[in-house]
Amino acid sequence: MKPTEPPLDWTSVEVAVPRQPVRLPGVGLAGFRQRGPAHVEITMVAHPSVTLFVDLSNENSLVHDTRGGRACGSAVVGLAPGDLRFGCRAAGGIECLQIRLSPVLAAAVLGASTDLGGAAVVSLEDVWGREAGRVEERLRAATSWDERFTIALDALGRRMGARPSPDPEVAAAWEMMLTRRGRVRVDSLANEVGWSRKRLWSRFRSQIGVTPKHAARLVRFDHAAHLLAAGNAAAQVAAVSGYVDQAHLHREVRAFTGVTPAGVAAAPWLAVDDVAWPASFADRSARSDSF
């Protein structure tokens, strides 16, 4: 995500991440809190995962706004968010749990392809059912971020196995995209999983929510974006990431974010890792457990 007007003072945001490796592969967790009056507006940037935003504020302050309408509360964002904006306004502050799921895991946990029925964003209740409210209540009642992470993982684990998972060939194709950082051809992927190009294209699209080509572009873009955020020059990033030239990188970044590579490099992404976030956030996150 990238900030829009009015800008958020990121130094006022407390960030918490799990102290131990997450036991469910394909899951990323992070907690965010801003105390006191808060007014935030951020634009969603595509990410190679399905993202759940669980609104834990007392005022149900998380608002998502798309061309299709405006809604509030916890939400699920697919792989192709399009024109999506999140807003938060709360006198008592903002608290939010971010859960990122690999598309393969998301299909198994949420019981639907990651295009969310063609919508950019849907409410958590739409895909999770009545259990969403019960999970939110447990998360709000928790006394630490560690407890919240445990509750979230338990809830995800209970849903696994109860719904059909993507085909092993689809899962293998996705893993190869990640391993090769998006530098793959669909024909090669099809050969490696033992399918025809047409079948891989069709099954991948129906189960993951985007075409294999788009998924590979998204993974390659995400790798390039993190290199830019780490301070690497655009020309170097283009070469390392497999773009034809710097102009090609510029076009892809524009397509996914609406800004230039320089804009991506300066954006405080709403993603918790040791590259996209300044070291000061990473240091503080380890101490942001107790409430």
- For residue range 50-76, what is the model confidence (pLDDT) as tens digits? 889 898 887 656 666 666 566 678 888
Separation between Cα atoms, residue 249 and residue 278, nearest integer Å = 24
Q: What percent of the chain has pLDDT over 70?
A: 70
User: Using 50, 70 and 90 to split pLDDT, how confident is the model at 198?
Assistant: very high
Residue 245 Cα distances to 94, 213, 251, angstroms: 42, 19, 10
Q: What is the pLDDT of residue 235?
A: 95
Q: What is the pLDDT of residue 280?
A: 43
User: Domains (ranges, CATH) in the chain?
Assistant: 2-164+270-285 (2.60.120.10), 168-258 (1.10.10.60)
Q: Which residues contact 16 (CB under 8 A, 6 or more apart)?
A: 30, 31, 32, 33, 145, 285, 288, 289
User: Using 50, 70 and 90 to split pLDDT, how confident is the model at 89?
Assistant: low
Separation between Cα atoms, residue 128 and residue 137, nearest integer Å = 14
Could you tell me the sign of the dihedral formed by the alpha carbons of 7, 13, 19, 20, in that order?
negative
Q: Is 144 exposed, middle or buried (0-12, 13-18, 19+ CB in 10 A)?
A: middle
The answer to whether the predicted template modeling score (pTM) of the entire model surpasses 0.75 is yes
Q: What share of the chain is helix, strand, coil (3-state, %, to 5)?
A: 45, 20, 35
Residue type, 100: R
User: Using 50, 70 and 90 to split pLDDT, how confident is the model at 43?
Assistant: low
Separation between Cα atoms, residue 266 and residue 191, nearest integer Å = 40
Separation between Cα atoms, residue 134 and residue 23, nearest integer Å = 22
What would you report as the CA-atom Rg of the chain, rounded to the nearest whole angstrom? Answer: 19
User: Using 50, 70 and 90 to split pLDDT, how confident is the model at 16?
Assistant: confident
In this model, does residue 127 exceed pLDDT 90? no
Residue type, 93: G
* 59 DSSP 8-state letter: T
Q: How many residues does the structure list for the chain?
A: 291
Q: What is the pLDDT of residue 165?
A: 84
Q: What is the DSSP string of 95-139?
A: EEEEEEE-HHHHHHHHSS-TTGGG-SEEEHHHHHTTHHHHHHHHH
Q: Stretch 156-170: mean pLDDT, rounded?
A: 86
For all residues of the chain together, what is the average pLDDT? 80
Cβ–Cβ contacts within 10 Å for residue 11, how many? 9
Beta 2-3 vs 38-43: how paired, if at all? antiparallel
